[in-house]
Amino acid sequence: MRKIALLLLLVIGIVLIPTLAQDATPDPRYVGTVPAPAFPDDIEWLNVDAPLTLDGLRGKIIVLDFWTYGCINCIHMIPVIEQIEETFPDEVVVIGVHSAKFLNEGETENLRQIVQRYNLHHPVINDDEFVVWRSFGANAWPTFGVVDPRGNIVALQSGEVPFEAFERYLSGMIEYYDSLG
């Protein structure tokens, strides 16, 4: 009887150890290792009642859209951003980081008019001094950053990105974190 019990434990161990080891190995596509820098306390926000913090967004995937309204490629991305918001309303928070190319684009009232013109509903940071831009390593308009639910940077991509690429990546990321519980 004792031999059967030991054999049963051995078989269970052989089956469970690879499963447990697999769950313990982070997926590098979805798990960042570099903590996202905090948003500056004195930065101006639009479309929110109070400034957002990365700590306050823990548990959510954050998509940062580094843009400027004088950039046609950035404007092309607005429908893609809207699709992300509609497809993942509970799992993903989009934050626009407006880093003005020209001085007049950094004026809050001008930015507010653009946000209204394009009917943007997500939070927008007026990063007129490029503080957030530099801290995340953006280098072109548009650039998209992704922060995992634990607050680490997992991706930074410049240029226009099709919705299908976002959808595949974000769906995989959501599935991965859901599997962790």
- CA dist 171 and 83 (Å) reads 13
8 Å CB contact between 74 and 141:
yes
So what's the pLDDT on residue 20?
41
Average pLDDT score over the chain: 90
Residue 14 clears pLDDT 70, i.e. is over it? no
Report the C-alpha dihedral over residues 113, 66, 31, 168, rounded to 10 degrees: 80
**Please, what is the end-to-end C-alpha distance for the chain in angstroms?**
37
Name the residue type at position 52.
L
Name the token pair of 75: 């404007």
C-alpha gyration radius of the chain: 21
Inform me whether the pLDDT recorded for 34 exceeds 90.
Answer: yes
Of 22 and 94, the structure prediction assigns the larger pLDDT to 94
- State the Cα–Cα distance between residues 5 and 140, nearest whole angstrom: 63
Interval 76-88 mean pLDDT: 99
Q: Please, which contacts does 102-107 make with residues 24 or more away whose CB atoms are closer than 8 Å?
A: 102/68, 102/70, 105/68, 105/69, 105/70
Residue in the structure block whose two tokens are 């499963």: 19
Strand residues in the chain grouped as ranges (E): 34-35, 44-46, 61-67, 92-98, 124-126, 143-147, 152-158
3-state secondary structure of 70: coil
Rounded to whole angstroms, the Cα distance separating 132 from 66 reads: 9
Taking the CB of residue 14, how many other CB atoms lie within 10 A of it? 9
Identify the CATH number of the domain defined by range 26-180.
Answer: 3.40.30.10
Could you read off the pLDDT of 93-118 as tens digits, one per residue?
999 999 999 999 999 999 999 999 99
The ranges assigned to domains in the chain are 26-180
Q: Percentage of the chain with pLDDT > 90?
A: 85
